[in-house]
Amino acid sequence: MTREELDALKDQIYVLHCALADARNDLAKPRHTKDSIREILDWVMDAAEPVATASLHPSIRP
């Protein structure tokens, strides 16, 4: 993994962290509609996808 790839992955993990924090805060509120829960889930899934599909192969060094 190159330094640039690592930095990009760290950025993606930060976005996922923010999405989880937002979801926790939103779900702590007392009432939810089907649409509001779907919106929360979509935000978390959109943030998780780049992390889940990231290439974690080591970089080849000469």
**Domain annotation covers residue 62:** no
| pLDDT confidence of residue 59 | 65
**Domain annotation covers residue 59:** no
Q: Which residues of 22-52 are buried (b: 16+ CB within 10 A; e: fewer)?
A: ebeeeeeeeeeeeeeeeebeebeeebbeeee
**Domain annotation covers residue 13:** yes
| pLDDT confidence of residue 27 | 95
Taking CB atoms within 8 Å and a gap of at least 24, the contacts of 20-24 are 20/44, 20/47
The parts of the chain modelled with pLDDT lower than 70 are 58-62
**Domain annotation covers residue 58:** no
**Domain annotation covers residue 61:** no
**Domain annotation covers residue 38:** yes
List the domain range (segments joined by +) for residue 35. 3-52
Q: Does the predicted model carry a pTM greater than 0.95?
A: no
| pLDDT confidence of residue 46 | 97
Q: Domain tally for the chain?
A: 1
Residue written as token pair 């007392």: 30
